[in-house]
Amino acid sequence: MSPIVRLKSFFAQTFCLLLIPVFPLFAQEFQLESDQPIEFDEANKKMIATGEASLTYGDLILRANRIEYDQESGLADAIGNIRISQEGYRFLAERLKVNIQTQEVEAFDVRFGSPPIYAEASTATGSNTRIELHDAKVYYREPDQFTPTMSIDKFVVEDGEIVDSEKVLFEVLGLPIWYLPSLKIPTDVEPFRVRAKLGTRGNLGVFAQTQILFPLNETWFAGGNLDVYTDRGILIGPAFRYLAETENSSSDFYTSTGWIHDSGDRGVDIFGESVPKDRYFVEGFLQNTWGGNHQFNGVYHIYSDPEIQRDLHFDDFNHNQQPDNFLEYQYQEQDWSLSAFVRADLNDFFSSDYFPFVDQASTRAFVFEEKLPEVRFDLHPQHLGGGFYHEFSASAAQNGHSFYLTDDHEQETFTSLDGFYRIQNTSRFGEGGSMNFFAGVRVLELNGVPTAVVSAGEGGTFRIPYPQYHPGMYASLPMTLVDVEDNDYSQVIGDFGFNLEGAFFRTWDTKNSAWKIDGLKHVVKPYLHVRHNPINEDNGPGSGSDHLYVLDTNLPNWDLATRRDAEFAQDQTLARIGIKNELYTKQKEYGARQLLSWNLAGDYFFDGPFEDDMSFLYSDISANPAPWLQVGMFQRFSLEHFKLWEWNSRIRITDADIWYVEYRNSLAKLNQGFGYLGSAVFPKSGDLFPLLDVDQHSLEIGARINNNFRGRVILRYDVVLREFTEQHYSLFQKFGRSVELEYRLTLRESARREDNWAFRIGMELVSF
């Protein structure tokens, strides 16, 4: 259980520690001990323990320099270096008085905590059911002069729950920045958030950005965005968060907004449209669960134009360059689930690709698939008996399909019904082999399916049926949308085959202290998946083509049960051949550590829609031979053409938290088609469009200079452009345990909207 989650329990127990020596003593025995002789004042009926005195009750231990207990009045008085511990917690004070008869307690100069929460108070008074702390300070992380604090006049705990705090003053860097007359302190989330950036950038001028969020009560938080740009204006907008949790439910809703009347040089967006003066954004998320069966999730990003985050909130843009909008509800039982999913094109402008060698006013190729909504039922695999299992799913959807070509924009809707059923049986043989047989069927019924009629200049007019019209597929051809036709079609797809898999291993008693090797275990998992997908279609969208997978850079999913693009399915018979290699060594404490993973796989088509019989050969390597070394590589190799189409790699070397070096590269021969088998549209397009090749490299170096300073350098180089596209030089300065400043200089080349250089200072409260 995390420290934050434990806080309610912690505060309940900690405050009650003041009271435990009071009321339980009537019913249970206690023991008073000391490393010095215990004095007994017979006249006053008092027991006095000095030195290293301790009073023990159950698992409670009270230690002090002096403990004086009055047998007649029932008053225990502890003085000096008081320490109370129970169940791993510590409570410190300078003086503590307990009246056993009235069950009242009074403590002075109190200190207590459970990471990352620490607190201190001048006095604490109360009984076994209610206690009040006066003049309290609550710290997040260990206290120092830079730690965010809450100064609280009165802090009330009743029946083990934090019920109220009066006169709450929030302070950052010693400055008061927020005040509430009362608040039930939240114990499961950060109490407030403060982030700030100050810098300069050519197209923004000098800028200051702030994001704050403070509690209004135990469930509602409020704040906002306030940015000032000398060359653009002022961006302002409120932000809210609602967070509540009960025994059977939890809710988390967040929204952040911003608006600016942009008076700067805005230019044109990725589609060649002028960026408006009045710009805004509304974004956030929601998560809700209740009853153990219900889940409701969603994200939303509503923007005035596609460039607002890239221009103004560039860090947010870098973390999420293609934001989405969806809502999903799911009801989950043990054997089945029911869901509803809505995905809407609220912005109506995002592009999935940008080609600098094509006039952006003549080609805008993008497809956004909407679900308005999709309702789905899933029956999870169930045992029928005799080793047979079956599964079933069905969905109905109202779909939205947007066509963006030249200055025309067509948005069409159509309905779809989708059902799937499969029965399977798995037999095991030997110690590591298994054979899984399956037979299934998927039925699709689509009504009002759009087909784009386009003109490609001298190439004439041709039709692109859904779903073959996809992002980037024809982006290198200047096209004009002439018309959109509607068609109906149905499709029945069979799914027959078997999966043959094995698992074998061998061990070696090998030891190497330098690489922390304690024995080796090599696990080999070869597999053969054979699948036959006959199709019976009525007035289908066409026979398909080689370029259906131009955006698929991974081994495609052929499983009809989980395949979301079943409309792409073609009549085919194929075999997927692969082998998985895993190498392990023993962990010093427990379990095993994976040293190497190498997966190799490819498909052979006995019959199918592709010109080539063999797919790409996919190789995925991940290695962690030592705690200080991490290696990852992904390759895609064409066996038909004996060429390397793609290579991505990552190497990271670290020395604890002292320094690290990380190298990444991405190489892809897009001019030869970067999809499943390659593109038939431009099989030799490299001479016409050399920029379709990608050969990019990045290097990141970080080092800790001392306890307060660390540095970081990020370099990105493009071999095709022959230049460093980005350079980041950062110096981080830490103040105390909670505040860190970043001084960053950024240099760019060939950036579409960003300036060639920028400088900024950013502040983060690292405790949150």
Residue pLDDT, tens place only, 619-654: 999 999 988 999 999 998 888 778 888 899 999 999
pLDDT in tens, 582-619: 999 998 777 889 999 999 999 998 987 666 788 889 99
Q: Is the pLDDT of residue 574 over 50?
A: yes
The listed range with the strongest mean pLDDT (168-182, 393-407, 719-733) is 719-733
More confidently predicted of 369 and 506: 506
Q: Report the pLDDT averaged over residues 414-438.
A: 92
Nearest to 446 by CA among 418, 470, 465: 418
Residue 528 in tokens: 């053969």
**DSSP string for 275-344:** PPSEEEEEEEEEEEEETTTEEEEEEEEEESSTTHHHHT-HHHHHH-SS---EEEEEEE-SSEEEEEEEE-
**For 547, phi and psi rounded to 5 degrees?**
-100, 25
Instruction: Report the DSSP beta bridge partners of residue 165.
Output: 155
Residue 6 in tokens: 């434990």
Quick one: pLDDT band at residue 102, thresholds 50, 70, 90?
A: low
Residue 159 in tokens: 């029946």
Neighbours of 706 (CB within 10 A): 7
Name the percent of the chain lying above pLDDT 70. Answer: 77
Contact by Cβ (8 Å): 529, 575: yes
Q: Is 549 helix (H, G, I), strand (E, B) or coil?
A: helix
Distance CA 230, CA 525 (A): 61
Residue 225 in tokens: 């965005």
Quick one: pLDDT band at residue 696, thresholds 50, 70, 90?
A: very high
Contact by Cβ (8 Å): 664, 698: yes
**Which amino acid, 560?**
L
pLDDT computed for residue 650 by the predictor:
96
Q: Is the pLDDT of residue 364 over 80?
A: no
Residue 558 in tokens: 């052929």
Q: Report the pLDDT averaged over residues 380-391.
A: 93
pLDDT computed for residue 58 by the predictor:
59
Type and span of the H or E element at 9: helix 7-17
Residue 16 in tokens: 């009650």
CA 14 to chain CA mean position, Å: 34
Distance CA 340, CA 331 (A): 9
Distance CA 446, CA 444 (A): 6
Q: What Cα–Cα distance (Å) separates residue 717 from each residue in 154, 632, 695?
A: 58, 20, 9
**Which amino acid, 256?**
S
**DSSP string for 379-395:** EEEEEEETTEEEEEEEE
Contacts of 757 (CB under 8 A, 6+ apart): 201, 202, 745, 746, 747, 748
Nearest to 280 by CA among 317, 312, 243, 247: 312
What is the 8-class DSSP label of residue 568?
A: G
Q: Which CATH class is domain 7-182?
A: mainly beta
End-to-end CA distance of the chain: 18
pLDDT in tens, 274-328: 899 999 999 999 999 999 899 999 999 999 988 899 999 988 888 888 788 999 9
Contact by Cβ (8 Å): 91, 83: yes
Residue 139 in tokens: 């710290």
Q: Report the pLDDT averaged over residues 676-697.
A: 51
pLDDT computed for residue 101 by the predictor:
64
Contact by Cβ (8 Å): 527, 503: no
pLDDT in tens, 478-537: 556 667 778 788 889 999 999 999 999 999 999 988 888 899 999 999 999 999 999 886
With tokens 């991940």, the residue in question is 622
Distance CA 428, CA 423 (A): 17
129: left (phi over 0), alpha (psi -120 to 50) or beta: alpha
Residue 106 in tokens: 């009074």
**For 561, phi and psi rounded to 5 degrees?**
-70, -35
The listed range with the strongest mean pLDDT (81-90, 294-303, 717-726) is 294-303
Quick one: pLDDT band at residue 358, thresholds 50, 70, 90?
A: very low
Distance CA 655, CA 704 (A): 10
Long-range contacts of 632-641 (CB under 8 A, 24+ apart): 636/553, 638/678, 639/602, 639/614, 640/612, 640/613, 640/614, 641/672
Distance CA 223, CA 256 (A): 9
Q: Is 58 helix (H, G, I), strand (E, B) or coil?
A: coil
pTM comes to: 0.75
With tokens 């003066």, the residue in question is 277
User: pLDDT averaged over the chain?
Assistant: 79
Contacts of 385 (CB under 8 A, 6+ apart): none
More confidently predicted of 733 and 21: 733
Q: Report the pLDDT averaged over residues 552-557.
A: 74
Q: Cα–Cα–Cα angle for 512, 518, 519, nearest 5°?
A: 110
Each domain of the chain, given as residue ranges in start order, spans 7-182, 192-345
